[in-house]
Amino acid sequence: MNDLAARLRALPSFPEDMPGLAPDAVPEDPAELFLAWLEDAIAAGVRQPHAMTFQTLAEDGSPVGRTLILKDLDERGLHVSTHRTSRKGEQLAADPRAAMTFFWRESGRQVQVGGTVAALDEETSQADWSARPSYEGSPNPDWQVYALRPAWYEFTQSRLDRKHVRIGYRRGADGRWSHDRVTTPAG
């Protein structure tokens, strides 16, 4: 093993005292579990608990990720914002598929969410623009709030022994959610 690999392997991982995740006790609606975990992170004083890696697809289909913050979550989906002419805005216009990955290392929790985005109305976008710290009183016609409408969620509760508990949710054609424990084959 090279020096870097050995140093990386020796780094501390997760704390011994982490919350659990009981697969038979999760709610039917994954948004409820997501909000509970987000609220736990906020209550624990996690710095930027609403930050996530937001992935879009480049023109050639390769994934592109960057860190954004969650602006809201409602019946339309999970909200993010950007300029329509930004790289991510152009990628979303070309292919609306996207994913988010939230990670709260202090509790060993991770949530991945994927689906398609839709541009929200101008009123929502301008309200978001005017709430920015850099707002100087003028509207920005290029500013856009998007909502990711989830097709799937995956919740991971890490464990010190690395036998993490993962729950996957899928939205059916009827709009209803189903969920099950995600297992990874040994190997």
Give me 146's structure tokens. Answer: 């998007």
- How many residues are present in the chain? 187
Q: Is 170 annotated as a binding residue?
A: no
Residues of the chain with pLDDT > 90, as a percent, come to 85
The reported pLDDT for the residue numbered 187 is 42
Task: Return the bridge partners of 48, or none.
Answer: none
Q: How confident is the model at residue 36 (pLDDT cuts 50, 70, 90)?
A: very high
- What does the alpha-carbon distance between residue 108 and residue 35 come to, in Å, rounded to a whole number? 16
Is residue 108 within 8 Å of 157, Cβ to Cβ?
yes
Residue labelled with tokens 């297992």: 183
Instruction: Identify residue 87 by its one-letter amino acid code.
Output: R
Q: Is 47 annotated as a binding residue?
A: no
The reported pLDDT for the residue numbered 116 is 98
pLDDT of 186 > 60? The answer is no
pLDDT of 109 > 50? The answer is yes
Q: Is 42 annotated as a binding residue?
A: no
Query: Under 8 Å CB-to-CB from 100, ≥6 apart: which residues?
Result: 52, 53, 54, 55, 70, 78, 80, 111, 112, 113, 114, 148
Q: Is 159 annotated as a binding residue?
A: no
Q: Is 87 annotated as a binding residue?
A: yes
Give me 100's structure tokens. Answer: 């988010």
- For the chain, give the mean pLDDT: 94
Q: How confident is the model at residue 15 (pLDDT cuts 50, 70, 90)?
A: confident
Q: Is 124 annotated as a binding residue?
A: no
16 or 3: whose pLDDT is higher? 3
- What does the alpha-carbon distance between residue 8 and residue 11 come to, in Å, rounded to a whole number? 5
Q: Is 76 annotated as a binding residue?
A: no
Query: Tens digit of pLDDT for each residue in 132-177?
Result: 999 999 999 999 999 999 999 999 999 888 788 999 999 999 999 9
Query: Tens digit of pLDDT for each residue in 40-82?
Result: 999 999 999 999 999 999 999 999 999 999 999 999 999 999 9
The secondary structure of the chain in percent helix, strand, coil, rounded to multiples of 5, reads: 20, 35, 40
Give me 147's structure tokens. Answer: 């909502």
128 or 162: whose pLDDT is higher? 128
